[in-house]
Structure 1
Amino acid sequence: MTYKFRIGLRPAWLLGSDGEQGVSLQEVLALLAAIDATGHIAGACKACGLSYRHGWGVLRKFEESFGTALLITKRRQGTQLSPFAQRLLWANRRIEARLMPTLESMASELQEELERLLPQGEPHVRLHASHGFAVEALMHHMSGSGHAPGMELRYRTAIEALASLERHECDLAGFQVPLGEFEAPIMARYAQWLDVDNYRLIHLAVRNTGLFVEPGNPKNIRGITDLARPDVRFVNRQIGSSTRYLVSLLLERAGIPISAVQGYETNEFTHMAIAAHIASGMADTGVGVETAACRFGLAFIPLVRERYFFAVHQSSLAQPAMQELLRLMRSPEFVGYLRQLVGYDARHTGELQTFEQAFGRG
């Protein structure tokens, strides 16, 4: 089905002072990002759909408000962002990376609530999953398909998602499992929420997970043992996330106590937020999927490969909405999109498996 409308939420900056209504920074942030990309104001104004005169007016207005220059113009070298403008832009990227999954989840929830009030409403597939690029891609493809069912999305940790599935609060629960030596302890962590007899698994993708480091790796970070160095600042995922638990297993194998890792209690909620944190210079390394490192221009040190699954009640598979979802996941368009994500393997996307088939045990 297609929605009659689409709810969207976005973070917004407001600049003001006591007793004054804040002025939105959306226009100047977009302009600064375009200048950073094009290297000159004329091209940035064109990209933003602004006249040259209006663009200059926006820049001058906020230079006056901030009390500092936003641009540095050098003869025959184009236009560059000032250090202040660069930090402003990085702060905006960090905010978007941190807040967008939460806002997308809230928008989906609001969309579902309003859709239920419309006549002839159709049932939606309820997905609870941690934020990831394959999940994000699935939402995008479903919203763009006139035949796909609606999807209600909640971003949750793997354990929260599996607990929701057990309580019948969702139809699909997303969770990741590393290949190799850490598969068993991760699966043991999920075990109490997995009904291996009555659940089936839908394979979404395999992805590369590893350390993010600054371009050129100036700290010469090579692996997990470097997290114990006093000159290395680490940024972790939030408490309860599977990636955080994986980090604890990696540290345990290396014989490194958590107390030896500077920044272990510093938390971010998504792979993109981890990447933004490092790219902005607030940390030297963190763990996440390769796609996020690539999008922020960071170097990547592989640690493990992870399979990402959707768990589903076997009785739900015959429902038309679920069958349509499986059809879309197996479509050349969706599989082709996953294949172009850096660090993703889509060879088994959409395959339906039992636990025995996936893990060699019941």
Structure 2
Amino acid sequence: MTEELSYTTEEIAKLLKISKLTVYDLIKKGDLLAYRVGRQMRIDASDLERYKRQAKGATPQSVSPASGPKEASSAPRPLVITGQDVSLDMLAKHIERQNKAVRPLRSHAGSLDSLIAMYQGQADIVSTHLLDGDTGEYNVPYIRKLLAGFSYVVVNLVSRSAGLYVQRGNPKGISAWTDLQREDVRMVNREKGAGARILLDEQLRLHGIASSSVQGYDDEKSNHLSVAGQVVSGAADTGVGIEKAAALVGAEFIPLIRERYDLVMLKTPDNLDWLGTVMSVLKSELLHQELASIQGYDLSLTGTILYET
């Protein structure tokens, strides 16, 4: 029966031919009713049909007294947190524990796509690690351009090493960005919009290396683990990423730069009730203890406001 069916946010995105962030935005606005099963959000088929009828301008069918209407207003406010790092899962857990009025939802979007989603009103807490090669500064130059006219705060979550994954023993002797143009070196890349992809592109530009001269530049993977895994399997000689992923899959790691992994949050009246919660969590000893257990994290700036409008 239709009422017994339910869909994940990914399935809804495919059915409606929209992005997953747009699905979260519909949930956040109360246009699409959802409920949580563990860490996963699900939408009943009947609620999907109700949304489609409303979108077409039709009057939704009445709900029987036995089942009763579903009240979106009484549910916790969805809080969309973008990014792929495990530190965000830890952050989401602590936010939910401290503030029952919000329900953190995770979206695994890249840094640049996350900022665009925030501009479009589809994300609440954006994580970003975008290097501006001209200034050597992380994140703020991009945020100022993309969120011009917005009121926001930039807070550090962690700092970490970024560099190149290589196979055990580093058989190709890879040690620098310039090695990527060698004919005997093949890399695997990240997708457009990812912080690691922008780091690579900025380094190629600064070193005067054309992307067309880099073997494997167009071979894209959607996360750090996939890139490191390709290197370990021998499908590629190197790839750009972070130290933690190398440790998880057994790749060697060549650190080349220290990057800031920051959070961006808009300062709007609707956000004031949870902004204080996030800042409190970021300063909490319990979160710091959990983050300290992850290899490669530097917590010296965690919770520090780096830029504010």
Same fold (TM over 0.5): yes
Instruction: Say if 1:234 and 1:316 are closer, same or farther in 2 by CA, change over 3 A.
Output: farther
C-alpha distance after superposition, 1:230-250 (max 9, x if no partner): 221100000222221211121
Matched, 1:121 2:51: no
Instruction: Say if 1:188 and 1:141 are closer, same or farther in 2 by CA, change over 3 A.
Output: closer
Partner of 1:237: 190
Larger radius of gyration: 1
Q: C-alpha separation between the residues in 2 aligned to 1:298 and 1:124?
A: 37
Displacement, 1:329? 2.5
**Structure 2 counterparts to residues 133-148 of structure 1, below 5 A:** 133-142=86-95, 145=97, 147=99
**Structure 2 counterparts to residues 94-133 of structure 1, below 5 A:** 111=41, 113=43, 120-127=74-81, 129-133=82-86
Q: C-alpha separation between the residues in 2 aligned to 1:170 and 1:312?
A: 9
**Structure 2 counterparts to residues 184-263 of structure 1, below 5 A:** 184=137, 187-195=140-148, 198-263=151-216
Instruction: Say if 1:138 and 1:176 are closer, same or farther in 2 by CA, change over 3 A.
Output: same
Displacement, 1:347? 2.1
Instruction: Say if 1:193 and 1:330 are closer, same or farther in 2 by CA, change over 3 A.
Output: same
Partner of 1:300: 253
Displacement, 1:180? 7.7
Larger helix proportion of the pair: 1
C-alpha distance after superposition, 1:259-287 (max 9, x if no partner): 21110100011111111111122111101
Q: C-alpha separation between the residues in 2 aligned to 1:330 and 1:297?
A: 32
Instruction: Say if 1:186 and 1:172 are closer, same or farther in 2 by CA, change over 3 A.
Output: closer
1:347 is paired with a residue whose SS is coil
1:163 is paired with a residue whose SS is helix
Q: Is the 8 A contact 2:95 2:277 kept in 1?
A: no
Displacement, 1:193? 1.4
Partner of 2:304: 351
Q: C-alpha separation between the residues in 2 aligned to 1:165 and 1:243?
A: 20
Match of 2:124 among 142, 163, 171: 171
**Structure 2 counterparts to residues 150-161 of structure 1, below 5 A:** 150-161=103-114
Instruction: Say if 1:110 and 1:344 are closer, same or farther in 2 by CA, change over 3 A.
Output: closer
Q: Is the 8 A contact 2:156 2:304 kept in 1?
A: yes
C-alpha distance after superposition, 1:295-343 (max 9, x if no partner): 1122111111111222111225863333223322222121112122222
Q: Is the 8 A contact 1:159 1:190 kept in 2?
A: no
Q: Is the 8 A contact 1:210 1:288 kept in 2?
A: yes
Larger strand proportion of the pair: 2
Matched, 1:329 2:282: yes
Match of 1:270 among 223, 244, 262: 223
Q: Is the 8 A contact 2:190 2:220 kept in 1?
A: yes
Q: C-alpha separation between the residues in 2 aligned to 1:177 and 1:110?
A: 28
**Structure 2 counterparts to residues 24-43 of structure 1, below 5 A:** none
Instruction: Say if 1:318 and 1:232 are closer, same or farther in 2 by CA, change over 3 A.
Output: closer
Match of 1:342 among 270, 295, 303: 295
1:330 maps to amino acid = K
2:228 is paired with a residue whose SS is helix
2:206 is paired with a residue whose SS is helix
Identity %: 26
- Segments of 5+ residues of structure 2 without an aligned counterpart are 1-6, 10-20, 25-35, 48-69
Q: C-alpha separation between the residues in 2 aligned to 1:291 and 1:248?
A: 22
Instruction: Say if 1:147 and 1:215 are closer, same or farther in 2 by CA, change over 3 A.
Output: same
Displacement, 1:255? 2.4
Instruction: Say if 1:317 and 1:177 are closer, same or farther in 2 by CA, change over 3 A.
Output: farther
- Root-mean-square deviation (CA, aligned residues, Å) is 3.5
Q: C-alpha separation between the residues in 2 aligned to 1:180 and 1:208?
A: 16
Q: How many residues align?
A: 256
When structure 1 is superposed on structure 2, of 112-121 and 339-348 the one drifting more is 112-121
Q: C-alpha separation between the residues in 2 aligned to 1:161 and 1:174?
A: 7
Instruction: Say if 1:336 and 1:195 are closer, same or farther in 2 by CA, change over 3 A.
Output: farther
Q: Is the 8 A contact 1:179 1:307 kept in 2?
A: no
| TM-score normalized with structure 1 length | 0.61
